[in-house]
Amino acid sequence: MRSRLSRRAFLAGATALALPVPARAQSAARRLVMPPLLDARAAGRFSLRAAAGQHDFLGESPSDTAGFNRGYLGPVVRIAPGETEATVENAAGFAVTSHWHGLEVPGEADGGPHQTVAPGATWRTVLPVEQPPATAWYHSHIHGQTAPQVHAGLAGVLQILDGRDGDRGLPSDYGVDDLMLVLQDRRFDQDGRMVYRPTMHDRMVGHLGDWMVVNGQVDGVAAVPPGVVRLRLLNASNARIYRLTMRSGRGMHLVATEGGYLPTPLALDSLLLSPGERAEVLVDFAGAETDALVSDVIANMPMLAGGQGLRASQGRGRFTVLDFTADAGLPVRIDRLPDKIGDDVPEPGQAHDIARAFSLDMGMGMHGGFAINGASFAMERMDHVSKQGQTELWRVRADRMMHPFHVHGTRFRVLSENGQPPRPEYRGWKDTVLIDGEAELLMRFNHPAPAHAPYMFHCHILEHEDAGMMGQFSVA
């Protein structure tokens, strides 16, 4: 039984404003395990089976969880450009969906709240993927139940690969120099069982944990070769925002955002990653013995956004997300950063036919009352209609706290943040961005989404989404 006393002592002194710092257990190092691969590229099809399960996070006692094809989370599904057939079987005993977050697919294949898979039922769909290689993900998306279901484990990673990463000079040996890292924060009870019991405060700011969990593991240590390693990061936390750096100050070079590669590696001072976002960075571990990915504590406090949210969080402390140990026995395949990776990302441009304005409003009422443009989500109400192939400008505001804004069915470009050019990590293709004040997003929908299978736009703090900070639109 490991000691959590120091962490508990910290929590006892924590106020509602100074959020708990996730701490890792001081215990014998365990090697970080990658999620299993489900490679659908040769067959052109894959199956997921949602079911309740159990998972032991702390080595103390199993927690009741849910997952796809396993007890907690799902496999890393790998698909190639072209058509892939997806089958989702529901053995969970409650309704689920499987939304392909980051895939540009028609509304009917999107897996949003309207594509419910009833208990015992099976959903089959075809994913016509024409977008470039990317790290996407999938998760259940039942309206009002997304937060508890994703928290329980109904989420996984989906990678689009075109087999050309070798030419690009990018590490691609899965689990060796190409690591998938699913970042989550969780709470556990005295017996080491995961708990999801949102308080009133959690309903306001989202459910935050005080333990870091990476790939479903609490105290994993990632072994890496002493060369260039690719970290594919997914923030699958319900509400926690990370601002990541390497503890040693070792450089992090951004090579991909949610929708694909950047033209060249981009050196970052730190990497902002809010719920739903993905990023791929290269880190050169040459000469390292150990290092760690660390995060600032970001306090997402009501009333502090309007471009002040992240700045107001400066200096609130740090915690370890994941420890690394360099293993000279692992092969170094890439020993320098590539000069050129992808095609140029087109400039966002100015041309647009429709400007839409959204504000994310956090109600203060008794029942939560989260809304977009004053309206809480309603399954029967269509919020707007977009036109296939047309470029639109979306202006999104969040004044009282920061909200990660996600749009289904597209990849977009960030034109500006608070009137300025976007932060470095927002310069590529995106599908989720942290709104801290106002951002302008330029997007286009290439597939249809009929009224019975619309796309969603929503805050990816899952408690906010479930409480109504979501809207829907069709694409005609």
Binding site for ligand C2O (CB under 6 A): 99, 101, 139, 141, 276, 406, 408, 456, 458, 460
d(CA 154, CA 71): 9
Q: How far is the CB of 97 from ligand C2O (least distance, A)?
A: 10
Binding range to Cu ion, per CB under 5 A, among 169-177, 253-261, 302-310, 401-409:
401-409
The 3-state secondary structure of 272-325, one letter per residue = EECCCCEEEEEEECCCCCEEEEEEEECCCCCCCCCCCHHHHCCCCCEEEEEEEE
- Among residues 109, 459, 467, 470, which is the contact residue for Cu ion, using CB under 5 A? 459
Q: CA dist 439 to 200, 423, 429, 434, Å?
A: 29, 11, 15, 9
Output the residue with the shortest Cβ distance to ligand C2O.
101
Burial 384-394 (b: 16+ CB within 10 A, else e): eebeeeebbbb
d(CA 180, CA 201): 32
Q: State yes or no: residue 103 binds Cu ion (CB under 5 A).
A: no
Q: Give 220 or 471: the residue with its C-beta nearer to ligand C2O.
A: 471
- Among residues 70, 101, 230, 413, which is the contact residue for Cu ion, using CB under 5 A? 101
d(CA 334, CA 169): 7
β-pairing verdict for 82-90 and 45-55: parallel
Residue 183: which of ligand C2O, Cu ion, none does it interact with, CB under 5 to 8 A by kind? none
Q: How far is the CB of 42 from Cu ion (least distance, A)?
A: 27
What is the side-by-side order of every strand in the sheet holding 82-90? 63-68, 45-55, 82-90, 122-129
Residue 276: which of Cu ion, ligand C2O, none does it interact with, CB under 5 to 8 A by kind? ligand C2O
Q: How far is the CB of 100 from ligand C2O (least distance, A)?
A: 9
Return the DSSP state at 207: -
Residue 139: which of Cu ion, ligand C2O, none does it interact with, CB under 5 to 8 A by kind? ligand C2O
The pair of structure tokens assigned to 51 is 């079911």
Q: State yes or no: residue 304 binds Cu ion (CB under 5 A).
A: no
Q: Give 229 or 443: the residue with its C-beta nearer to ligand C2O.
A: 443
Q: State yes or no: residue 447 binds Cu ion (CB under 5 A).
A: no
Q: How far is the CB of 123 from Cu ion (least distance, A)?
A: 16
Residue 141: which of Cu ion, ligand C2O, none does it interact with, CB under 5 to 8 A by kind? ligand C2O
Q: Identify the H or E element spanning 65.
A: strand 63-68
Q: How far is the CB of 99 from ligand C2O (least distance, A)?
A: 5
Q: Give 239 or 294: the residue with its C-beta nearer to ligand C2O.
A: 239
Q: How far is the CB of 158 from ligand C2O (least distance, A)?
A: 11
Q: Which amino acid is located at 227 in the chain?
A: G
Q: State yes or no: residue 278 binds Cu ion (CB under 5 A).
A: no
Binding range to Cu ion, per CB under 5 A, among 18-26, 253-261, 320-328, 455-463:
455-463
d(CA 299, CA 282): 27
- Among residues 273, 433, 461, 462, which is the contact residue for Cu ion, using CB under 5 A? 461
Q: CA dist 367 to 200, 370, 469, Å?
A: 10, 9, 13
d(CA 115, CA 108): 7
Q: State yes or no: residue 458 binds Cu ion (CB under 5 A).
A: no
Q: State yes or no: residue 150 binds Cu ion (CB under 5 A).
A: no
d(CA 70, CA 287): 37
Q: How far is the CB of 288 from ligand C2O (least distance, A)?
A: 34
Q: How far is the CB of 371 from ligand C2O (least distance, A)?
A: 16
Q: How far is the CB of 469 from Cu ion (least distance, A)?
A: 5
Q: State yes or no: residue 408 binds Cu ion (CB under 5 A).
A: yes
CB 118 within 8 A of CB 460: no
d(CA 311, CA 418): 13
Q: Give 155 or 208: the residue with its C-beta nearer to ligand C2O.
A: 155
Q: Give 186 or 406: the residue with its C-beta nearer to ligand C2O.
A: 406
Q: Give 150 or 252: the residue with its C-beta nearer to ligand C2O.
A: 150
Q: Give 32 or 239: the residue with its C-beta nearer to Cu ion.
A: 239
Residue 143: which of Cu ion, ligand C2O, none does it interact with, CB under 5 to 8 A by kind? none
d(CA 205, CA 184): 16
Q: How far is the CB of 19 from ligand C2O (least distance, A)?
A: 23
Q: State yes or no: residue 411 binds Cu ion (CB under 5 A).
A: no
Residue 397: which of ligand C2O, Cu ion, none does it interact with, CB under 5 to 8 A by kind? none
All residues at 6 or more sequence positions from 185 whose CB lies less than 8 Å from its CB, including other chains: 22, 208, 209, 210, 211, 212, 213, 237, 240
All residues at 6 or more sequence positions from 126 whose CB lies less than 8 Å from its CB, including other chains: 83, 84, 85, 86, 109
- Among residues 403, 427, 444, 447, which is the contact residue for Cu ion, using CB under 5 A? 403
Q: How far is the CB of 102 from ligand C2O (least distance, A)?
A: 8
- CB atoms under 10 Å from CB of 290, counted, come to 13
Residue 142 in 3-state DSSP? Answer: coil
By CB under 5 A, what part of segment 46-65 binds Cu ion?
A: none
Q: Which residues bind Cu ion (CB under 5 A)?
A: 101, 403, 408, 459, 461, 464
